[in-house]
Structure 1
Amino acid sequence: MLFINTRPDDRASVLTQALNEVGYQVEALPLLELVAEPFSKALQQLYLALVETQVIVVVSPTAVDIGIRYLQQAGLQLDQLKHIQWVAVGQATAKALAEFKIVSVVPEVETSEGMLELPILKQQKDLTKIAFWRGLGGRQFMMQQLQQQGVEILNFVLYHRQCPTQSFIAFPEIVKKIGLNQPVAVLISSEASWNHWQQLCSQHACAADWIYLVLGARLVQVLERAQRQMGKGFNIIQLENLSASEIIHRMSDWQGHV
């Protein structure tokens, strides 16, 4: 079966190798690239407010890299943030933090809903201020939920997402290889990547039998809503995380029931 690996170039190779080893044909089509926002006076003020902040939620390895770089640019040292409790959205982000000797908490389910279930966020009654190191448009749901609980949010928009230019060139070439009603699996890891995928599909129609592997229940709802609006049928498989083992396991389950 053809599998379209939409992870960013720097995170795609491990999954591609694992899929190849179990017999999938893999096409690389990154749907997101992350571009740093410039350091600004607004970010400077947010960094200075970290000395009174209890928790920093970090949403990606990119947020770690840019966040730490801009921390130093703001004139702060990590030693000044020893009181902070760090939350990483997933193991890759936790590993990136660990390179700076930062210990973080990681949710069992690597989604906004999973993070909201962490005791540090759910049970700490004196929690008043949380910082988010994130990309433009990301983690809106989580921030809204915490704001409704009366928590002040420090919103660090460190980068923005865009669809790589190369993917606009590569997609029509991939479409040429796909036969009518051929089953094709596509990894969808975020709402932004889904929006970019739809943009590509609108420019180059393809009559494949799409199987979307989707991270988390809320993103599944986004695709189900799009399915109703478009009046198109496609398969949706929910993922708990983006590990190769999880993806291969879910695909095997789905193929066993088809």
Structure 2
Amino acid sequence: MSNALLLTRQPADNQRLARQLEALGIGCESLPLLELVPVDETGAQRRLMLELDRYQAVIVVSRLAAKLGLDRLDQYWPQTPVGIDWLAVGPGSAEPLQNIGLPVQLPIDGQDSEALLRLPLWQSHFARADLKVLIWRGLGGREHLADQIRAAGGQVDYLELYERRSPAGLPVALTAVAARGVKGIVVLSSQALEYWHAAAGIDWQRQRDWRCWVPSARVAAQAADLGCHDVVICEGADDAAIIEAVQAHPLKD
């Protein structure tokens, strides 16, 4: 497939996005750069969920974090505790919460930590002396978000629900899709970018010339540091934002 766009999220996400892009005449390849593996619950994590009503805000940073966190919520709380602001970074992470009727707030001017922190509710939260925030996430990530909340005097705890791994056989699979004519790649996290760079190996000097769509200025800067020079920043990481960016900056024949 000549001039294909490589999608690198989880298989179901890639398939959904590929259908939409291919309907627009954009050829796609699929290769997840991350393997997401749920982690076993620890005693400390159990206490966080049992004490959920201590928090004024719960932030969900990914669709998988939302799904796994809701499984824990259902286990420990037959009725969701009141008085919590439920926040999501973007539409994908918000959807599982909305599906069970939780009143989720999410930014409308971006899908990153900075946009989330611009929500008006933080004005009153940061005025509290006892602000407590729980972040549902994978192992590691979103430190900037927690740092800003702590700098304002808040307490931040993490409910870490899954870990990210480099998929087995990624270098071989990447070589195979590259040989089929890939000219662009969608990379939606810093860790995915790192795994792409590592898996490319000696072919990195060529792959870094691919047009690279990323979700934020922070990931764009990291891509530039690795030598990528054709980087497009999407206005978020959801399907609509990616499609809009790909149409605005199409691959050249």
TM over 0.5: yes
Which structure 1 residue ranges, 4+ long, deviate > 4 Å from structure 2?
A: 203-206, 255-258
Distance in 2 (CA, whole Å) between partners of 1:246 and 1:43 is 33
TM-score by length of 1: 0.87
Query: Distance between the aligned counterparts of 1:257 and 1:117, measured in 2?
Result: 36
CA distances 1:112-141 after superposition (whole Å, capped 9, x unpaired): 111111112244322610000111112111
- Determine helix, strand or coil for the equivalent of 1:174: helix
Is 2:190 the partner of 1:187? Answer: no
Residue 49 (structure 1) shift: 2.6
| 1:1-258 superposed matches below 5 A | 1-73=3-75, 76-77=76-77, 79-108=79-108, 109-124=110-125, 125-126=127-128, 128-165=131-168, 167-178=170-181, 184-202=183-201, 204-205=203-204, 207-208=206-207, 209-227=209-227, 234-255=229-250
Secondary structure of the corresponding residue to residue 194 of structure 2: helix
Per mean C-alpha deviation after superposition, the further-off stretch among 45-54 and 200-209 is 200-209
- Alignment partners' CA distance in 2, 1:138 and 1:216: 14
Check the 8 A contact 1:20/1:26 in 2, yes or no: yes
Q: 1:23 to 1:72 in 2, by over 3 A?
A: closer
Q: Secondary structure at the match of 1:79?
A: coil
Alignment deviations for residues 168-195 of structure 1 (CA, whole Å, 9 cap, x no partner): 44212112223xxxx7111011111111
Number of matched pairs:
247
User: Post-superposition shift, 1:36?
Assistant: 1.0
**Deviation for aligned residue 1:222:** 1.8
Question: What letter is aligned with 2:230?
Answer: N
What RMSD in Å do the two structures reach over aligned CA positions?
A: 2.3
* Contact 2:87-2:105 at 8 Å conserved across structures: yes
Structure 2 CA distance, aligned partners of 1:184 and 1:115?
32
Residue segments in structure 2 that go unaligned for 5+ positions in a row = none
The unaligned stretches of length 5 or more in structure 1 are 228-232
Quick one: structure 1 residues 222 and 102, their matched pair in 2 at CA, closer, same or farther if it must change by over 3 Å?
Answer: same
User: How many angstroms apart in 1 are the aligned matches of 2:96 and 2:170?
Assistant: 27
Q: What does residue 230 of structure 1 align with?
A: none
Identity of aligned residues (%): 26
